[in-house]
Amino acid sequence: MPESVTMDKIVSLCKRRGFIFQSSEIYGGLASCWDYGPVGVELKRNVKNAWWRSIVESRGDVVGLDCSIMMHPMVWKASGHLEGFSDPLVECKACHMRWRADQLEKAACPSCEGEITEPRNFNLMFKTFMGPIEEDAAVVFLRPETAQGIFVNFENVVTTSRKRLPLGIAQMGKTFRNEITPGNFTFRTREFEQMELEFFVKPGTDEEWYQYWAKERLDWYVGLGIREENLRLRDHEKDELAHYAKACVDIEYLFPIGWSELEGIANRTDFDLSQHSKWSGKDLSYLDPQTSERYVPYVIEPSAGADRSVLAFLVDAYREEEVEGATRVVLKLHPSLAPVKVAVLPLSRNEKLTPLARDVYERLRCSFVTEYDDTQSIGRRYRRQDEIGTPLCVTIDFESLEDNQVTIRDRDTLAQIRLPIAELEGTLSAKLSGEGFGTDSLWAGARA
């Protein structure tokens, strides 16, 4: 990771261009909570859509699910979260700051070097009350992972989807963890979105599927433009494994804070289904219709964070380039992730240019997420589009009125070509889908 990409620069770009704002900012902000602005929400939707397409739509062996955030409290008893979903909390005796003991490098307060208390287990689940009476019987939890909704619906999905194992069930949605030390922008927050797949397989085939999913998920990030040298797999040590896991490998990304987890792929064995069988009294085993064997499936779980993925895509795409003696900030996002695909920019706001430019815009809007911008100088408008990662800009100038031709500018190479308006849609579409990017004859002679 080039040293020029700092978290501060990412935070500042996100605010400046409308990717991510601090929650409740006019009231001073709420710690660790973030809001996605107009371009941020598009980027995040594109990331989630790409995940859903790759995990659910493009395969025949995975179906989707969307469960409620609040679930029966017994779910968390059975899953082990009530007992075990905790981090070791320590407090500084001098300044009373609280820290996660396993993240401290030495036994002193990182803030004031004061003495710290003995660690105690702090449960990370958010508690609230369901209904009008705040009593113990009404306590419910906000889910700390989407996975449990999948496990408790396993039987419903198998019987209604008419699928056989191996079968995956995917879900994305909000989860909540009362993290002791949130921070580093959207890397660790208390409310975030997960994208989880629970892939149910026959015991004995689990290790092969585990390897398969680790590779598949790593390839997904690379396919969407993350540079391979910024990704690595890290196997968990035995003493690091979660209470339910037989094996776990993290996909780590080289964030500005160093190598950190982007996604975890775990072999959860039959732990969850067995636990839910035990506590609910329902048989959650699977009868193989072909072999008549009955077994409790094993589960391979690739679990990714939508917000953390967005952060990784932003960091990886961020570049500072010297262009004609000035620094250009550009987000080289994969075209399928870019919030805006095409920007229509009339050279100036002018009564002669506007009708043609609006006409081009209205046409392109039917095919691509397109933005129209006629404010400020053309240079400033290019800068904005570069900073939000728009792959292609279409410029309409006074000559366009004569020859019905417009200019397309390529974000990455700054190459420009001029072509008839009638050919615009086809050319943009080919460029955005990566066809002949920079190699086709049309672009071969293009100059920056």
**Cα 268 versus chain centre, distance:** 22
CB of 177 to ligand ATP, least distance (A): 5
- Here's the x/- map for ligand ATP, 231-270, by CB under 6 A: it reads as ------------------------------xxxx------
The residue (of 189 and 336) whose beta carbon lies closer to ligand ATP is: 189
Report, in Å, the least distance between residue 40 CB and ligand ATP: 15
User: CB 243 → ligand ATP: shortest distance, Å?
Assistant: 12
Please name which of 272, 270, 263 lies closest in space to residue 202, comparing C-alpha atoms. 270
State which residue, 176 or 443, has the beta carbon closest to ligand ATP. 176
Residues 286-305 that bind ligand ATP (CB under 6 A): 303-305
The answer to whether 294 touches 283, Cβ cutoff 8 Å, is: no
Among 122, 133, 71, smallest CA distance to 279 is for 71
- Count Cβ atoms within 10 A of the Cβ of residue 184 and give its class: 0-12 exposed, 13-18 middle, 19 or more buried: middle
**Distance spanning both ends of the chain, measured CA to CA:** 26
Classify residue 305 by burial, with Cβ atoms within 10 Å: 0-12, 13-18, 19+. buried
Assess 44 for contact with ligand ATP (CB under 6 A). no
Q: Is 401 helix (H, G, I), strand (E, B) or coil?
A: helix
Please give the structure tokens belonging to residue 315: 């960091």
Tell me, residue by residue from 162 to 181, as one string, x for binding to ligand ATP by CB under 6 A and - for no binding: ---------------x-x--
Least distance in angstroms from the C-beta of 305 to ligand ATP: 2
SS3 420: strand
Q: How far, CA to CA in Å, does 337 sit from each of 36, 222, 270, 314, 418? A: 15, 13, 36, 10, 26
Residue 323 C-beta: closest distance to ligand ATP, Å: 34
Q: How far is the CB of 42 from ligand ATP (least distance, A)?
A: 20
Residue range at the interface with ligand ATP (CB under 6 A); choices 186-194, 319-327, 328-336, 367-375? 186-194
**Using CB under 6 A, which residues numbered 305 to 334 contact ligand ATP?**
305, 307-308
**Nearer Cβ to ligand ATP, position 198 or 307?**
307
Q: Which C-beta is closer to ligand ATP: that of 149 or that of 264?
A: 264
Please report how close the Cβ of residue 189 comes to ligand ATP at its closest, in angstroms.
Answer: 4
Question: Please, which residues bridge with residue 417 across strands?
Answer: 408
CA distance 244 to 56: 25
Does the footprint of ligand ATP cover residue 425 (CB under 6 A)?
no
Closest residue to ligand ATP, based on beta-carbon distance:
305
Q: Does 192 engage in binding with ligand ATP (CB under 6 A)?
A: yes
Of 44, 81, 143, 188, which one interacts with ligand ATP (CB under 6 A)? 188
Strand order in the sheet with 231-235: 62-64, 167-176, 191-201, 298-305, 258-269, 247-255, 231-235
Q: Which residues bind ligand ATP (CB under 6 A)?
A: 177, 179, 188-189, 192, 194, 261-264, 303-305, 307-308
